[in-house]
Amino acid sequence: MPDEFSIRQLRQKNCEKLISQQIQRELDLSLGVELIYDHARHESHMIQFEENKQTKARQAMETAKVERQKNISEQSSKPAQGGGGGFGGGDGGFSKRKAPKEKPAHVIYRREIKRSPVPIKGNMEEESIVCYEGKVFEKDTRELRSGKKLISFAITDYTYSINCKIFAKPEEAEELENAIKKGVWYKVEGNIRYDSFEKELMMFVMNINEGKVEKLRMDNAEEKRVELHMHTNMSDMDGVASVKELVATADRWGHKAVAITDHGVLQAFPDGMHASDGKDIKVLYGVEGYLFNDDAQVIKKTNDKDMKQTFVVYDIETTGLSFKHDMITEIGAVKVKNGEIIDSYSALVNPERPIPAKIVENHRHYR
């Protein structure tokens, strides 16, 4: 597969199982399918691509150098005009090369951007050079076998988002890693190209400058409220912000307290406890619970005997969590009398299909 992100997305959609089932239906073959990411191949292609780009750049520079020397030769063969005998004035020689200008403080990488930023949405034409102004929301760095570092980051201007790449030399990489921060706006100029490894249009960055300073929202009410219903990213398929971010925002707004009320879980409590450290805000701990009818008969065929009576406890292992599509792989049971196990039973069951790697891994972990 081209990248680890694609594999995660496909696994979430149960594609390994679906492919295996399709092979079973079409070819009558029982095969296990596992999606893997070929790191070595991906890295080799990227290094080759970068080397080809550098070779073309060197050839272009050599051509330009030859043209310059040719022009200088032609100019020097002409009669000197004015008081001098050559370029640059009366001393008859060439003028000294100017010292390189110091990089302006707002330039993060390479050169100052003269181009005006455009919205990301609607301005992603392949092989075009554009400038975007966006906020970094993802960043990753990986060292390549060539010694260079691949710095990848994603920006958004809230019209659209795009991934950006820089193949940085070791001396540039450390400075760039420290300069590019999540949550900060930058002007980014580069070439839009289709990345055959990521299978999407990406920006290959040429220059980075500081962007605008984002104006944070504030609560300007004279009497501040206390939010008693807040979901963090621990609420499955609901909250997206971490408890640390939410508590920090409430504190910045001048709120004296804020409540965590996730869907049926308490996992945000430890982080919530530390999120208020050093802040003038109190975290209230709650939960959005689930109710059930306690009049409903959960246990059937009950009797009035105590737990000393004889009973059997059993457990099953399956290929997944669906009662419609998954199959049993193992049955285990113990017979209990007077609070002691007096007999046991276990048996493996052929599910007549490959057992997904994730199920095997989880089973091994819990064992």
- Reference 210, options 120, 104, 128, 130; nearest CA is 104
Identify whether residues 205 and 225 lie together within a single domain. no
Axis-axis angle for helices 4-12, 15-27 (nearest 10): 70
SS (H, E, C) the chain: CCCHHHHHHHHHCCHHHHHHHHHHHHHCCCCCCCCCCCHHHHHHHHHHHHHHHHHHHHHHHHHHHHHHHHHHHHHHCCCCCCCCCECCECCCCCCCCCCCCCCCCCEEECCCCCCCCCCCCCCCCCCCEEEEEEEEEEEEEEECCCCCEEEEEEEECCCCEEEEEEEECHHHHHHHHHHCCCCCEEEEEEEEEEECCCCEEEEEEEEEEECCCCCCCCCCCCCCCCECCCCCCCCCCCCCCCHHHHHHHHHHCCCCEEEEEEECCCCCHHHHHHHCCCCCCEEEEEEECCCCCCCCCCCCCCCCCCCCCCEEEEEEEECCCCCCCCCEEEEEEEEEECCEEEEEEEEECCCCCCCCHHHHHHHHHHC
Identify whether residues 260 and 279 lie together within a single domain. yes
The predicted pLDDT at position 366 comes to: 56
Residue 53 within any structural domain of the chain: no
The predicted pLDDT at position 84 comes to: 47
Identify the domain containing residue 321 by its residue range.
311-366
Identify whether residues 191 and 230 lie together within a single domain. no
Task: Look at the chain and report how many structural domains it folds into.
Answer: 4
Distance CA 74, CA 87 (A): 12
Identify whether residues 117 and 192 lie together within a single domain. yes
Residue 298 within any structural domain of the chain: no
Identify whether residues 114 and 186 lie together within a single domain. yes
Q: Is the pTM of this model over 0.75?
A: no
Helix (H) or strand (E) holding 177: helix 170-179
Identify whether residues 195 and 254 lie together within a single domain. no
Burial 151-176 (b: 16+ CB within 10 A, else e): bbbbbbbeeebbbbbbbbeeebbeeb
Amino acid at 346: S
Identify whether residues 192 and 175 lie together within a single domain. yes
Residue 44 within any structural domain of the chain: no
Residue 297 within any structural domain of the chain: no
Identify whether residues 278 and 321 lie together within a single domain. no
Tokens 């008969």: give the residue.
297
Q: Which CATH number goes with the domain that contains 344?
A: 3.30.420.10
Residue 353 within any structural domain of the chain: yes
Per-residue pLDDT of the chain (367 residues; tens, 9 = 90+): 555 667 777 888 888 888 888 888 888 888 888 877 666 666 666 666 666 766 777 777 778 777 777 777 777 666 555 444 444 444 444 555 555 667 788 898 989 999 999 999 999 998 889 999 999 999 999 888 888 889 999 999 999 999 999 998 888 888 888 899 998 999 999 999 988 878 889 999 999 999 988 888 899 999 999 999 999 999 988 888 999 999 999 999 999 999 999 999 999 999 999 999 999 999 999 999 988 777 777 777 888 888 889 999 999 989 887 888 889 999 999 999 998 999 999 999 998 888 887 777 766 655 5
Amino acid at 24: Q
Residue 61 within any structural domain of the chain: no
Distance CA 184, CA 182 (A): 6
Identify whether residues 317 and 283 lie together within a single domain. no
From 257, 292, 327, the end of a domain falls on 292
Identify whether residues 248 and 230 lie together within a single domain. yes
From 210, 242, 262, the end of a domain falls on 210
From 210, 230, 263, the end of a domain falls on 210
Q: Which CATH number goes with the domain that contains 155?
A: 2.40.50.140
Residue 19 within any structural domain of the chain: yes
Residue 186 within any structural domain of the chain: yes
Identify whether residues 131 and 176 lie together within a single domain. yes
Identify whether residues 120 and 188 lie together within a single domain. yes
